[in-house]
Structure 1
Amino acid sequence: MARMWYHNNNGDRVTPDSGGIMQHLEIDGRFDRPQVLIGPQEQEVKFLLSLRPGHELQRLEGGAEVGTNVCLLFDVSQSMEEDDKLEAAIAAGRELIELADARDTISIVAFDDETYSLASCLSAEHKPQLIAALENLRSVGGGMTNMAAGISGATEQVLRTHNDGQARVIILLSDGEDNYCKPDVIHEAVRTTDNDIQLFAIGVGADYDAKFLKALVTPSNGTLFGDTDVEKVKEAFIDLAVTLANVVATQTTMELSFPEEILVGKGYKASPDQLFLGNTRLERGRRARRRVGNIERNKEYAFLFELTIPGEPPRAPATITATITCDIPALGLRGVTVSQAFTVEYTHDPAIAELQDGAVLECYRRVQLTELVERFVEAHQAGQAEKTARYLELLIQKYNDVNDRKMVNHYEGIRADLLSGGQITRAMLNASVVASTVVQGGGELPVLIDDSF
């Protein structure tokens, strides 16, 4: 059963007609086994929850309708002056500014040991001033890398404007590791998330820490970009400009409510990119809550959870309730909420119990790779050579299983380097981490055909 409501401009809770559910947001939930065999043993199942904009939202123009609030956050530590990285960052920032809509609000912050506010909450109509602020990146910095200070400064800039439902975003670009206190950086990333700001991170060059940048974007459901080729920075900024222009729902949260009979294990983000979310933490009422952030009109967002369910059907149906809440600024809607229930089904028929959902299983095989890559990187960083070698062989096998020849070649190349006396470089690790987050097709939905005529 699905339920939907939203808050109108007076703050009153309004329930639209049932058609509004399909027009605004659509939720789908699937188990890898549609029916579970009744028996004395607990059963392991996978649950895939997907969210997509309904037809009405897919037809909106996205962020161009209401604008976005974005802060460009640039690392200007000494190392950024090498290999044309700073020049590439300036050129990339210019691309995003040129593509911005007049209704967008843009701030520019730089950081090394301290932070530098170069542009504060300027309308994209002021493109000459914003580009001049980008050029000023050359005249600041040169010190160490204090990411916590940078993220804090960027957060304060975004919070200077009234929260009217716009997409609120920080785009962080860095070429290295934090030189101060990494737990402080994680704390600032979480604070950013708590303020309904989505963090995206771009690593550039050979020395950035992709695993750490991934940890920064995970709380807000952001995306990691990265490449050793500094020219690829421009492509990342263009991709993000397109992302922001397509946003139709903002400040989105997902809450899953589980009955006592269901044990919840690891969680994964499965689309439009992949992230390993770790063990699922249940709050009071056995609820798991995650930020989804901004929803693009042409993307599907999916999350997969490992579950353990009883072998015998419980007295009450084993039902998972998913509740999605968001704002739809182009329609003037705040607190739009859609709720959908999904029930575990049981059977006495072994033949029926053997039926499996191939799409869920394929998704599970794919998202597990994100966790496996993390384990590989952690083993290498800990100096555990034997464990690193085992994970390397496992990655070659698992990428073979999903027919990803490019990544098989990548890990076979690492193995060949090791066998010839070489070492695993930071660039190799970064390429592994970034590739593990990529989903073929990027969660793109089929293009709607307007048949109204």
Structure 2
Amino acid sequence: PATTPGRAAAERALRQAEQQLALADAAMGRSAASSVVVHLRNAWTKASGGLTGLGVEQGGDHDGDGVPDALELGLGTSPFSADTDGDGLSDRFEVETLFGFSSPALADTDADGVADGQEDLDGDGLDALAEQAAGTSPTEGDTDADRLGDADELAAGTDPLTADTDADGLVDGAEGPAGTDALDPDSDDDGVLDGADVTTQQVDALDGIHVALVGTGDLAGGLVVHEVTADGRLVGAGGQVGRAYDFSLAPPVADGLQQARLTLPFPADLGDAQPEDLRVFYFDPEIGAWYPAAEDQVVDVAAGTVTATVTHFSTYAIFDIRNWGETWTAQDDPCRPRGGGGGTDIVLLDLALVLDSSGSMSWNDPQGLRRSAAKIFVDALLPEDRAAVVDFDSSARVAQGLTEDKAAVKSAIDTIDDVGGTNIGAGVSAANQILLGNGDPARARMVILLTDGEGSYSSSLTTQAQAAGITIYTIGLGSSVDHALLGSIATGTGGTYTNVRTAEELPEVFRRLAEDTGGSGADLTKDTDSDGVPDCIEIQGALSGSGHRYTSDPAVADTDGDGLTDGEEIGSRIDADFFGTWIPGNPTTAPTYAVFSDPDSADTDGDGLTDAVEADLETSPFSTDSDGDGERDGVEVEVLGTSPILYDTDGDSFSDGYEDDHRHDQGLDPLYVDVKVSAWTYAGHFAQGFIAGDLWRADSLAWLAGNLLSGGLSFIPVYGWIAGGVADLRDVIGSAIHADWVGAGMSLAGVVPYAGDAFAIPGKAVRFVLRNTDKADEALTLVAKMDEVPDSIKVDAARQILKDQWDVLIDEGFDQASLIRIMAGRGNLDQVAQAVGRAANVTVGAGFKATGKAGEAALEATYGATTKGVDKQVWFSTKGILGRGRYADVFVNGIAHESKVGFVSYSRSIRNQIEKDAALVANGRISGAHWHFYASDVSSSIGADPRIIDLLVQKGIPFTVHAP
């Protein structure tokens, strides 16, 4: 505009302000403090008057570009021009979307020779000018998060600002895989919107896997495929030639699946397998068995793939069906009567009795009861069975070769003396040679080894016996035997080890062996410990659907002492016709079981959870990572507090393992929903909050994080004073963030130096929450994580935001330090307060517990529980009611107590624990149930999802909150 007297006066006042600033700077160099203050005051007065004369005011926007004049002055932009640097990007666009990366005062901010308008910060194929024209974000490659890049949408004609351009119920990114038109809500003109119509959606997954999903909704967007390696049953099964993969769809998307065509690649090296024999197999977790996923499958030899159509998702792998069939055909029933007891096929036996004749037998077995006992076993043999006798001491002697002449065998037994040392290896070697050199491959091969001492032995003999199908039963007499050696020989060959204290017990041991190995007159239904499993099955091993055998002690109902009976662990028998469905003829005579867990190991998979706990939580005792999220089940339950049956506990699309691994560099947490934003967007918003403050408000947590750490703006009209601060801050943020994206609630406290007024923090947090009520708990978390800020300030912010709920927690015994810690751990104090208000009891001083077991220990101490299986760690079967059973942490006076450490997320297994408690009370198995919530030292959280609290109250189950 033309110069006017008013404008001239305003410009003169600004020049005088600059002169006063120069004088202030000179006075500062002379350390003349009083002169500095005078000159600065004069500068302020002159500058304010001059700017007002030009129409520039603190709350104004002279050029109407949407950027407040005060902010323009701080950024070094002109309040008289909407595009100060003339780069084609408006000042507002650069401030709003590129703050910290593109200066509205510089046409080429980074001086790289590329104008700001031509930069493509997010790498989506659109430069900043194009993003401005389209209204898309220059820091987010997919502005509307519909799985299509902004440039692709503009090229296709879809709206990059609307996830579902045609409003048909399918996001734009899902229409391509579904074969529908993102610009036509009813692509096939059948009167049904594409989102509700049945479509076939194509997905290329990992390792060359292709999936064609048939159904309704965005199936492709919800598909998760990952390799399974943590379950031994799913790796190296008989006939398996490919890796196992788990396929899943997150609810509610899963409800729309009707069927899926799975195409899995097979390895180039098939060994002896032929491509035409390859099939996709499905693992049935209920019975623990692999079988073909479908009857009709397609093998594409040229493509190296096998395709099968399935109607549900689980775990799949490629098998050689011929090899698989032969594996099961080879299985025999070791407990079938070997003759005269029902069984059309008589299984004959080749037996070697290996008896110790060392000098120590003269006092361990002075009456020669080992000879009498061995004869008992010989008398139980079938007439066609053959037996041999090996006498060993310092060396081995074959007293009788294989023969059907039982009298000759008994005579040889009578020649066993008691002179010499103990060379166990010599005895087993001689037995192996007899059975290998003269044995009949069609017969069962067995060795009974009896010794009373320790001696030399090579494990290669066990390996040799195992390869030849020789089963070795070992008996140790007295206390000087090598229990570990005899046990390993037996288990390594499929036999059992028995230790007896005196020779008087030997006749009964040999009599029991005769029965257990199907000898004449054997009672194969005998169940000594009444655990529901015949003794013979326990000794010979229960055959699982995956082809493994599991042995247990026939005299102890709970062999491993984990709370589950051997019968509960071995499970029910699989239908005899099951394998015959897929294998012509009768594939196996062996009884096969739906084995739940190993009855001889309290923690089958070694993941830190006993089998009984896994039964209660509905995890797999055979898998260290039941949900395939990258975290061991024991770690999820005992340490993290995440669900071991949910791949993504908090439902934010990131696996629990990924979130736990990226707590610090991406600000993620597996217990709380994290919203994904690009590192560019986060840094820009953080800089806005830190530098511009309330002059440029945003509703993101990144903005609040920056604002809390800053001193905020004052109206100091020093042209461009912010520019250097922006550049420095950008460098600091860049050094702290090493990923392409972060969680929206990431905190940079401790990384970016705190530069603000602590007393202003509560007001900043409150103003933000008033604009964003749904982010109250995240706002308090950011405040609590500011280590340089006094606790009193954090308490003030919490009081103002939580109001009465804060007082409720304090009144119930929570101390301020604990509440601040819970806030910093992302805990929702409002939910904690609501739980406290509905609790039957609240205790004080429980502290933060390091693990789930620490919570159980505290509970045991409270109720004086000391005996496993009696008043602590008590198992209640719920078979026929719901699931397998319920594992009470403490059981006192008829009340089953459950301990939970840290925030408890809602899941099927937690819901079912409550349902089982209510059912046990209803049918009189227990008098009542009581839950206890402790604070976690790891997650710094306490309480439960409101749905859990609601269900406890609904079922009449009281709970106690143990304030730390």
TM-score by length of 2: 0.23
Q: Which has the higher strand share?
A: 1
Larger RCO, structures 1/2 (Cα 8 Å, 6+ apart): 1
